[in-house]
Amino acid sequence: MNNIYLFSSLNSLKPIVFLLLLLPVSAGAASVDRPLNYSAIVTFILFITATLFITRWAARRTRSRKDFYAAGNAIGGFQNGVAIAGDYMSAASFLGLVGLMFIAGYDTLYFIVSMTLSWAVVLLLIAEKLRNLGSYTFADAVSVRLAARPIRILAASGTLAVAVPYLIAQMVAAGTLVEALFGLSYVQGVVFVGLMMTIYVTFGGMIATTWVQIVKAILLVAGGTILAIGVLLIFSFDVNELARSAVNAHPQGIAIMQPGLLYPDIVSVISLSLAFIGGTAGLPHVLMRFFTVPDGVQARRSAAFALCIITYFQVVVVIIGLGAIVLLVGNEEFTEGGLKVIGGSNMAAIHLSQITGGDVFMGFISAVAFATILAVVSGLTLSAAATVSHDLFAGVIRKGSCTDAEELRVSRLTVVILGITGVLLALLFEGQNVAVLATLPLVIAASTNFPVLLLSMYWKKFTTRGALVGGYVGLSLAVGLIIVGPNVWVQALGFDKPLFPYAYPTLFSMGACFLCAWFFSVTDKSQRAAAEARAFDEQLTRSQVGHLGPG
């Protein structure tokens, strides 16, 4: 049966392969005059070769939907923790945060502290309960005692609203990085990423995606550590001297060690923190990883290991960011005056790697950054495919009556469609602010998925009506307020003033979701609401003993 799956998957890949072959020869012509970084190319080819072998190995072990969605529940706690950290440490958390540290200094700590706190929330409140209640997606856990059909539609809406813009952001970043460093065009970079993610997910499922994330996480942590050590060597490992030098070099001086350069008001800071804290606990592709381990104990261990790795990496990012300030500001080879970095602020870490380790090390860091994007989009695609095939097709349309083969066929077809859609949308959004695209998923996850998941686990009086009203209100407000906020309304659409003053509306959209969920639950006097309250006790017992999901 596995061979039938593979043959079907190979046929379904034809459209995206055909799209790659149709790329005009002139697409790369614009980049011919750029010098090729052969160390970057060699490193990336080695990564691609290794991960394709992983995918081939994983494909032989992917025989059922349990293998495809949850790696057969056979991933260990440490391995899964590394994979989760790899899923979470995207290009934005490396290149983006270093670039932000280079520009704004202290305010970057809001991002870093919020990321760390978010995993404390996942560890203490989400991981073990989620694994014990669910099977493949977070919708499984939410629908244990609530009405399955409408809840799965809500969960699917939230998942796709998170996955698609996140996918676009990563692919736009990939195209930009390829264009700047690999001597290829933006179009070729985007199509290549679309093709590779489709291969990883279609053939290897969660097994391949997990091990690709593990390899990527190891490379990213190792590369970041070496880069941080290179910076510290220049200052004889004296962090105080590094900080003083950064203050002296930065145009804002001591202000980079104080709050206010990036977010001058408390509402923005709170909303940003809530976006990370709630958003992380509601990201479908991250939550899906807790179903790959055997039980709730291993899920909790996964979160603990992920927390340690991510916290360590944030410390590394701070050191790299301070080093970038000292070594790049005023350096005419890499800047165009002041804080204007050649290639944009996201290139600060790349330029710093060239200063500390030469072209070979810069090539390695560039390839790792690109590999990071490739691995993240694979996880995103798998979560979206699982939502369409498992939650919508199997749970809503077929009402649980479809076979494993039918569900897997829909899932793999969805992967191909998402690959093509991601490529086309990334081409459409070429040149757009990646930070804007990457913000939307966290806000949506924090305003829709997280409140519904948390309340379903911990509040006995939570009802289907409360979940639906709260979830859809949070989803609508999150999307709407971002569109009329400064990032989209002013920067992307070109209007003079935003209709909503804050870049991050999480405080309002998440608050509205919780408020509506509470009100429409406590006022629900239906028989179904009473039955759902009684079912909470059964759910509590189920989560305590540990439910391993369907075989």
CATH architecture of the domain formed by 2-431 = Up-down Bundle (1.20)
Is the pLDDT at 16 greater than 70? The verdict is: no
Could you give the CA distance from residue 468 to residue 456 in angstroms, rounded to a whole number?
12
Could you give the CA distance from residue 163 to residue 173 in angstroms, rounded to a whole number?
15
Average pLDDT over residues 131-138: 78
Whether the CB-CB separation of 13 and 416 falls below 8 Å is answered with yes
Whether the CB-CB separation of 95 and 324 falls below 8 Å is answered with no
Q: For 385-444, what is each residue's pLDDT tens digit?
A: 888 888 888 888 887 787 878 888 888 888 888 888 888 888 877 766 565 567 678 899
Could you give the CA distance from residue 195 to residue 175 in angstroms, rounded to a whole number?
13
Q: For 234-293, what is each residue's pLDDT tens digit?
A: 999 999 999 999 999 898 889 888 888 888 788 888 998 899 889 888 888 888 888 889
What's the one-letter identity of residue 241?
E
Nearest Cα neighbor of 247 from 301, 315, 318, 322 is 322
135-160 burial code (b ≥16 CB/10 A, e <16): bbbbbbbbbbbbebebbbbbbbbbbb
Average pLDDT over residues 41-52: 78
Q: How many helices (H) and strands (E) does the chain have?
A: 24, 0
- Give me the percent of the chain exceeding a pLDDT of 70: 88
* Phi, psi of 143, rounded to the nearest 5 degrees: -90, 10
Measured N-to-C along each axis, helices 404-428 and 148-181 cross at an angle, to the nearest 10 degrees, of 50
Q: In the chain, where are the structural domains located?
A: 2-431
Give rounded-to-5 percent helix, strand, coil for the chain: 80, 0, 20
Q: For 56-107, what is each residue's pLDDT tens digit?
A: 888 788 777 777 777 778 888 999 999 888 878 876 678 878 888 888 888 8
